[in-house]
Structure 1
Amino acid sequence: MPAPIYRGVFPVAPTIFDDAGRLDLEGQKRAIDFMIDAGSNGICILANFSEQFVLSDAERDAVQRAVLEHVAGRVPVIVTTTHFSSRVCAERSRAAQDAGAAMVMIMPPYHGATIRVGERGIYEFYRQVSDAIDIPIMIQDAPVAGTPLSASFLAKLAGDIEHVSYFKIETAQAASKLRELIELGGDSIVGPWDGEEAITLMADLDAGATGAMTAGGYPDGIRRIVDAYFAGETEKAAGLYQQWLPLINYENRQCGLAACKTLMKEGGVIRSDAVRHPLAPMHPAAREGLLTVARRLDPLVLRWGH
């Protein structure tokens, strides 16, 4: 059978903690149920907006197992398996596949502000991971890695390495890079995707993006935009984007990864919106600003748990 092609809205699920900072796996399941009810075409877990960098390996395994078992095939799940080590990343990716992941998302290897790997090492890194699995790899091209990945190099990876076929582009001038990547890579670029909370969504769709990986607070709003666009109703999509842009902007520029949890707690999806120390709780003024903007749109997240 031909491999499925994943399109649409695949938001990042937050990792849910209680007020003491411990994993709340029951809250995690409720967050996943809400995201599915809100129209997510699929879900990504253990990403940067999931606070993957504050989790132990055992906690990563616990979240992965709990989510994949709870989803039980209702939607495809992408698991982020980023690690500097080629071997560890390959092992994580194989474990994610064995647990039921539909795809893995991986940043290029980096550590801190200065430890980087050149193109030859990055090429071998992705090749070793690909050799360990049978599911697609999404390369996350984001500024946090501090690793320049040209469109031509990404196209070469897609052409040469079997499972490298999806790309989440979050760099400056993302639309231009997506357009060039699609032109250079042709059929090997199965999934050119938008990211960064949809702050560049319309330009990226115009450039040929077929997926959007946003945060998890309002998949229903992002679905309306993307569905209209893919149905050929581009003016309707643009109008919907203008409606939702203040919330997208507030999340992207004012709140970051904490926004999703704040919305979920306000709507009774989860009991605690705690982020893990040393991340700071959201300032009360920012919280009220976020909720004020969100209430104007009446997203499902503010009603789901009540």
Structure 2
Amino acid sequence: MRLTPDASGVFPIAPTPFNPDGSVDWTSADRLFEFYHDIGSDGITVLGIMGEAPKLEPEESVGLVKRAVAKMGGKPIIVGVSAPGFAAMRSLARQAMDLGAGGVMIAPPPSLRTDDQITGYYAQAVEAIGTDIPFVIQDYPLTLSVVMTPAVIRKIVMDNPSCVMLKHEDWPGLEKISALRKFQAEGSLRPISIVTGNGGLFLDFEMERGADGANTGYAFPELLIDVVRLQKAGQRDAAHDIFDVHLPLMRYEQQQGVGLAVRKYTLAKRGILSHDAQRKPGSALSAAAKAEVDYLLARIAKHDRRAKI
């Protein structure tokens, strides 16, 4: 299924499962994609920053796309295709779409500084991959150091009809969502899907500001689905109540350097991944950190049975 501007819901960022020897754990990959499908995800994103995409060989990247398409039952697969050069970006983007992906996600390189450089980069990227491929803008200044104002995002969207989604991951970023929706209400921005990142830390209020859903990772993606569903149903207090239960673990996952290790450790404890390994270079949790995660899980389990591991 191709990604469209009216896409909404939860598109979890899939981590890449590895064996302890650093090889891709294909069995866990299949189980992970089946899990995302079965819990009601609206799609997924593979080869994202938290998917350790730069550590993969080209054939491994293609293999993950194939498995995701096969296991997700026709739901849209977003494929991260960011690369230092446009040749590699085009190659992966075209291969992914030929395999049945729904669209691609493009992050700006950290070297971009001015508004013209940012908008010019996306124009060149679209020219390289082809105007027939739906694409997602990844706005992640905390990691990429590229600051996109609402006006810059509007120009990218309006100049490139194949842009169908914004992955909003600015922090703080609630006012940016409001500004973009105001542009849309005024008629200066065409309709576009806005899904949010930041590990879900602000999803409760992002939905209230006009986000369509989440495009991020968390060891309990069911929680993201709950919050989006409840907010869309107008059940504000219920959404905040279940969100607050998980917030301590979500916060713990957001630690720089060990966040992915926390997420993989929890997914392994849940039986979804066989190992919590990362491909080198990567971090590992100390015994003390694992004990802290276990403590947080026990506290969550008092209110959410899904955390009883």
Match of 2:79 in 1: 79
1:216-235 equivalences in 2 (<5 Å): 216-235=218-237
Code of the residue aligned with 1:188 in structure 2: it is R
Structure 2: give runs of 5+ residues left out of the alignment.
none
**Structure 1 stretches of at least 4 aligned residues deviating more than 6 Å after TM superposition:** none
Code of the residue aligned with 1:173 in structure 2: it is P
Q: Secondary structure at the match of 2:42?
A: coil
Work out the CA distance in 1 between the residues paired with 2:94 and 2:284: 35
* Contact 1:159–1:188 (Cα < 8 Å) also in 2: yes
Code of the residue aligned with 2:47 in structure 1: it is L
Match of 1:168 in 2: 167
| % identity of equivalent residues | 27
Match of 2:198 in 1: 196
Match of 2:139 in 1: 141
Code of the residue aligned with 2:136 in structure 1: it is M
Match of 1:15 in 2: 16
Match of 1:88 in 2: 88
Match of 2:101 in 1: 101
* Contact 1:251–1:290 (Cα < 8 Å) also in 2: no
* Contact 2:196–2:214 (Cα < 8 Å) also in 1: yes
State the TM-score, normalizing by the size of structure 2. Answer: 0.88
Work out the CA distance in 1 between the residues paired with 2:293 and 2:203: 20
Change (3 A) 1:182 1:84: farther
Change (3 A) 1:69 1:40: same
* Contact 1:151–1:181 (Cα < 8 Å) also in 2: yes
* Contact 2:208–2:231 (Cα < 8 Å) also in 1: no
Q: Which residue of 262, 265, 276 maps to 2:265?
A: 262
Match of 1:69 in 2: 70
Instruction: Quote the offset at 1:140 in angstroms.
Output: 0.9
Structure 1: give runs of 5+ residues left out of the alignment.
none
Code of the residue aligned with 2:52 in structure 1: it is E
Change (3 A) 1:296 1:152: same
Code of the residue aligned with 1:134 in structure 2: it is D
Instruction: Say whether 1:239 aligns with 2:241.
Output: yes
Q: How many residues align?
A: 299
Work out the CA distance in 2 between the residues paired with 1:264 and 1:10: 17
What is the RMSD computed on CA atoms of the aligned residues? 2.4
* Contact 2:12–2:44 (Cα < 8 Å) also in 1: yes
Change (3 A) 1:77 1:234: same
Match of 2:280 in 1: 277
1:33-52 equivalences in 2 (<5 Å): 33-52=34-53
Instruction: Quote the offset at 1:243 in angstroms.
Output: 1.4
Work out the CA distance in 1 between the residues paired with 2:134 and 2:13: 17
Deviates more, 1:255-264 or 1:168-177: 255-264
Deviates more, 1:121-130 or 1:30-39: 121-130
Work out the CA distance in 2 between the residues paired with 1:97 and 1:62: 13
Work out the CA distance in 2 between the residues paired with 1:70 and 1:223: 19
Work out the CA distance in 2 between the residues paired with 1:245 and 1:103: 30
Work out the CA distance in 2 between the residues paired with 1:221 and 1:117: 36
Instruction: Quote the offset at 1:45 in angstroms.
Output: 0.6
Q: Which residue of 212, 215, 238 maps to 2:214?
A: 212
Change (3 A) 1:86 1:300: farther
Instruction: Quote the offset at 1:266 in angstroms.
Output: 0.9
